[in-house]
Structure 1
Amino acid sequence: MATEYGQGYGHRYEYDGARRHRLPAALRAPFEARSWREFGYVLLSLPIGILMFSYAVTMVSLGAGLLVTFLGIPVLAAALAGCRGLGALERMRARGLLGLEVAEPEPLRMRKPGAMAWTGAVLKSGTSWRHLLYTLLHFPWAVFSFVVAVTCWAVGWSLVTYPLWFWVFPVYAGQGGIQLYGDDHHRVYLDNPFEITVTALIGLLFTLATPWIVRALTMVDRLLVHGLLGPSRLSARVVELESDRGVVVDTAAADLRRIERDLHDGAQARLVALAMDLGLAKEKLTEDPRSAARMVEEAHGEVKTALQELRDLARGIHPAVLTDRGLDAALSAVASRCTVPVQVEVDLPRRPAPAIEGIAYFTVSELLQNISKHSGARTASVDVWRSADRLMLQVTDDGVGGADVSGGSGLAGLTERLDAVDGILVVDSPPGGPTRVTAELPWRD
């Protein structure tokens, strides 16, 4: 964790951590700020839970009772909107006292502005009903956790400090100490040194255990806040798919611009020059046949060059060898053009879907280009295999390392492309090497 503070603060962080953690966790828990924040969260949960439960039950009951009239619908919508507001306060409380970061739920989706549209959006929103469910479930749990936490905390600290205040009983209560048992004939008090010591030890056990009991109680609160007050999995997935769709559209547009640029600056320019040269040769055909023949010969060379550029461009769009023979042959062809020796091993039971196959091909192709340009490696390897429902790619080299997935780099763009199809790119490239890049793609037949 010292790296989060930079190299200049690494030693200081380790020293402070050693000083703070000199005591075992079980002994320092009652005095940690986290334990007191969690205990404060439990204490506040009871009055807040009463307010939220009372509000929710009152407003929903009122709205349900008024459904026979038109007023019931807007009252019910107002009740749900209030629950959403209370949920926002609960997320803030959980963030401040429990350190729980919960994203804001999806906003209301209204096709047009207006009170009726807002009412319909609130009533149709699953988030609103989940917030209402939270206000109803939180109250009984808040009562239970409040009783357990306060009882354990009070018993623990009162017993562990019993040697300091047991004198109160003989001085003010007329008895030897805390009474364990009493009837008409016998009474048992905690009044001798041995019993006082045992009482303090039992209190110490309660004191040490209480922070962990409270922590377990707040784990349920964390689950409630995260599960009911945060964005649903479905909405989060929708947002992710919308983002991925944007990445796919941007990537496709960038590829189209690259193809247009390559055609305009490469083959198209050569074909234009070729047409002009052939026009001049045609004019000189009768006047100077030798010059015309030389110009036709030069034009023939330009034709070969333009054809090669078109083949390279077609290979960059989708290589024919990939369509005809699959990943093994296609990756071997890419590896043969790399500036360092590359060992390719493909172990697949069958070919994946063409779209996944194409993404895998271009991923390896770009990684090998990076090795040729930046790695300074002597050897490299490409391994492709299937693991359960995932297509695994791994490209390694013995170069200088230091590859970084940061904004603006080729690896960052590759990461976005893989993420758009639920893929993953993991880069392990320490300074000095070696570099290992692992990619995962969903297997689709």
Structure 2
Amino acid sequence: MATDYGQSGQSYGFFEEPRRRRLPAGLRAPFEGRTWREFGYVLLSLPVSILLFTYGVTMVALGAGLLVTFLGVPVLAAGLAGCRGFGAMERARARGLLGLEVADPEPLRMRGHGFLAWIGAVLKSGASWRALLYSVIQLPWSVFSFVVAVNFWAYGWALLTYPLWFWLFPAYGGQDGLQLYGDETHHIYLDNPFEIGVTALVGLLFTLATPWIVRALTQVDRVLVHGLLGPSRLATRVVELESDRGVVVDTAAADLRRIERDLHDGAQARLVALAMDLGLAKEKLTEDPQAAARMVDEAHGEVKTALQELRDLARGIHPAVLTDRGLDAALSAVASRCTVPVQVEVDLVERPAPAIEGIAYFTVSELLQNISKHARATWAGVDVWRVENRLMLQVVDNGVGGASASGGSGLAGLTERLDAVDGILVVDSPVGGPTRITAELPWRGERG
């Protein structure tokens, strides 16, 4: 595994220092583009929700009413398909105005071909029914959010700008100012400078609060769009498992190719050469016993080298010390082969599942190999412990840092391997060091 430890820093993103804002967020909010986009989303939600509600309820009611005939099921399927189409429109609207990225729901799974197969797929799809539910729920929420947002927005700006237009009342309305209270005997108008100033101050408070109120309202819209119009958790999990299965298959195939290459180029080649040398020694045994003895002695050395290569290869597949004695002994053996002193601490009362134990071993092995090759460190440490149902690994070194899990690096491949078993790899490696890499794996059972 080749990881970019201590390189020139080209694989790292150095962020420019953000420009200092002259105004705090509370004062900027009424004028930010995000606020106006969210307000536009709320305004559009009312007419859109009326259209969705009308379509969804009409089509479902019509389809249910026609179930006594052969037209009911196709009408119901058409209604659900239309709701899916509106769902795509709503995801696009949320993406454009709210900046919400929601993946498309799972596609229709048709068994067979033709119109009947399509009807069955639409009716069996959970995404279709969630889109229908969204069409029904969206209307009451849109009415509420529209009323709240428009009233706060209108009253806030109207009161804030009251000093600019209060003169319209005495000039054209026949009263001194905006009427705050009135009955048959008493009338209270906002007409003196103090009252006008207080009115503007109240309007300022409303104006400053409105963006955050609108933002809170659109958070509910985000939840509705993400929860009802996106892929279900089950479908997302299936996609993740399919992706993880592909990673596992690719990794296993790569490991098999590596083992085949090591056998072909290493031990197998040596054994072939050894067989040829022994054959020559056999021919020279009667003619030149001394030369034959030298050839046998050289062949003996080749046998030892081949055996060592086979041991190394077997250790790379699955070390016997890991099977027999567990992570503590196996990681200590790996640490002893590292080019820098390594302190190993394993705090495990029980052993995890064999598969998880093997992944943990090879994770630490590759990280220590990186330290030997790239870190230019003088010390490293390995800690292993358990937190509830998770196995935690941490490898630390005092090298030059700069490790990155970006695409194409060795750590990226290691991250994919851990992700295939619901594991996590976190890299903390600032330029100049130190480097701290933490891995988290599921425990998945115990072994005595």
TM range (shorter): over 0.9
1:10 and 2:10 correspond: no
Tell me the residue number matched to 1:377.
377
> What is the SS of the residue equivalent to 1:286?
helix
Alpha-carbon deviations, 1:165-187, whole Å to 9, x = none?
22222232322222333333333
> What is the SS of the residue equivalent to 1:68?
coil
Alpha-carbon deviations, 1:362-396, whole Å to 9, x = none?
11111111111112212211111112221111111
Alpha-carbon deviations, 1:39-72, whole Å to 9, x = none?
1111111111111111111111111111111111
1:342 & 1:190 partners in 2: Cα distance? 78
- 1:18-417 correspondence runs (5 A): 18=20, 21-417=21-417
TM-score, normalised with respect to structure 2: 0.93
1:374 & 1:189 partners in 2: Cα distance? 78
| Counterpart residue identity of residue 176, structure 1 | D
Alpha-carbon deviations, 1:251-304, whole Å to 9, x = none?
111111111111111111111112122222222222322222222222222211
Q: 1:207 to 1:259 in 2, by over 3 A?
A: same
Q: 1:322 to 1:199 in 2, by over 3 A?
A: same
TM-score, normalised with respect to structure 1: 0.94
> What is the SS of the residue equivalent to 1:104?
coil
> What is the SS of the residue equivalent to 1:440?
strand
1:150 & 1:221 partners in 2: Cα distance? 16
Identify the structure with the greater helix proportion.
1
1:156 & 1:428 partners in 2: Cα distance? 47
Q: 1:400 to 1:179 in 2, by over 3 A?
A: closer
Provide structure 2 residue ranges, at least 5 long, that are not aligned to the other structure: 1-11
| Counterpart residue identity of residue 31, structure 1 | F
Deviates more, 1:166-175 or 1:349-358: 166-175
Report the number of matched residues: 435
Deviation at 1:238, TM superposition (A): 0.8
Deviates more, 1:103-112 or 1:355-364: 103-112
Question: Where do 4+ consecutive residues of structure 1 move more than 6 Å?
Answer: none
Alignment RMSD (CA, Å): 1.8
> What is the SS of the residue equivalent to 1:244?
helix
1:411 & 1:195 partners in 2: Cα distance? 66
Which structure is richer in relative contact order (CA contacts within 8 A, separation 6 or more)?
A: 2
Deviates more, 1:404-413 or 1:298-307: 404-413
Provide structure 1 residue ranges, at least 5 long, that are not aligned to the other structure: none
| Counterpart residue identity of residue 169, structure 2 | F
| Counterpart residue identity of residue 34, structure 1 | R
2:162 & 2:407 partners in 1: Cα distance? 61
Deviation at 1:6, TM superposition (A): 7.0
Deviation at 1:229, TM superposition (A): 1.0
1:167 & 1:157 partners in 2: Cα distance? 17
2:187 & 2:365 partners in 1: Cα distance? 87
